[in-house]
Amino acid sequence: MRKNLLRFIPISLLVAVLASCNTEDTATPQLRTSIDYAALTPTTPYSSLFVDNSGATTVDFSNGNNRYKMFQALNTYISSAISGNRQIDAAVLKNMYANTGNAFADSTKLNTSGVQLRSITASSWAATEAEKVRAFIESNFTAVAEASKSVTTVAAKGKAGKLGTYLVDEKGIEPIQIIQKSLIGALQYDYIGNVLLTKGLDADNSTLVTGKNYTQLEQNWDEAYGLLTLNPIYLNGSTDDKRGTTEFALGSYIWEYNKGAYAQIYPAFLKGRAAIVNNDKAELKKQADLIKAAIEKAIAASAIGYLGPKYVAAQTDAARAHAIGEGLGFIYSLRFATVNGADATFSDNILKALIYDAPNGFWDLTPTKLSTASDAIKAKFKL
């Protein structure tokens, strides 16, 4: 019967019908009402824009925000070695890192959040290599705990203690800064850039996650944003001279060290999320690529800033050691800068030549070592 009906359909119409059928068979069903990109502005609220057919928001930042708060809490604890003039317990830091042993204050509800920092550290890498990064971070937990035993001692070459207001080890290296700045790359950027905004873009966008009103692709994008900032509009009201919102870690350094692109980050997150609604994979990838490139540039520029202007402007050994501590952490983070082709070998070679192969670490630094490290980063990142 169907065969007989097809005999009376013009060939051109038949081709169109069959083509339409093929498109419907392969295209991802669009769950939401399309969003006009032209209607998006730098101050368009994120959460209220993306809703389901009943008007309920499909945005859930909780996974990203909870990890962000864990990083903040861990940072507050290690910094208390200085602010509280006290010894640090490496076991507490490891519990905070892996979210075990109820390490966080009960009021934060982080202990029962179901997420942790350790599992997503270097999670774009193969398991064996990722574990090496996690072990590196944990070795610095031990280092800061050990150095904090000398918090009442004045540091000098070969002697851990306080150098000015900074806690350093016997090589003049500040483990607090190594932890803070290494996690910006190993934790925040790797998970945002190399996992959620790369592999994560292939996630399902046609069905809802069980028990939720968002798709896995929507959640991946929202989790990336939630790990960058706690603010509804990232850097809202910021200018080159003044940061308009309180930001922490990666979110802060993007503004400080990428003046050319920090203002593009929130609009890119907004447009990318709209592209998910519209099933527009080309636009989604374009916005993800913009965000990743901007973040990598900020991390590389931060490393150069602390090896160069910040170090040069420092007037004391304490200030110089602090600048180098920050720089070392950012150089470690460069191994995750895949857009620019950096890797662990690139990062490790700079770190070894700069300080780690020197018997006295910071105390053996020379202008040549600093300029060589800066030049290598500038060349790799075209800065």
Q: How far is CA 295 from CA 233, 251, 260, in A?
A: 17, 9, 11
pLDDT digits (tens, 9 = 90+) for 357-377: 999 999 999 999 999 999 999
Which residue in the block uniquely carries the two structure tokens 């931060």? Answer: 302
Instruction: Provide the b/e sequence for 66-100 (b: ≥16 CB within 10 Å).
Output: bbbbbbebbbebbbebbeeeeebebebbbbbbebe
pLDDT at 92: 97
- As given in the structure block, the two tokens for residue 287 are 């916005």
- Give the single-character DSSP code of 120: G
* Average pLDDT over the chain, rounded to an integer: 92
Give start and end residues of each alpha helix (H) in the chain: 2-6, 11-26, 46-49, 62-83, 90-98, 127-148, 175-183, 216-228, 250-257, 262-277, 281-307, 309-313, 317-333, 344-351, 367-381
Dist. CA 88–CA 177, nearest whole Å: 15
Listed residue (269, 223, 255) closest to 65, CA to CA: 223
Is 165:82 a contact under the CB 8 Å cutoff?
yes
Which residue in the block uniquely carries the two structure tokens 């300029």? Answer: 371
- Give the single-character DSSP code of 247: -
pLDDT digits (tens, 9 = 90+) for 189-221: 999 999 999 999 999 999 999 999 999 999 999
Q: What 3-state DSSP class applies to 52?
A: coil
pLDDT at 33: 92
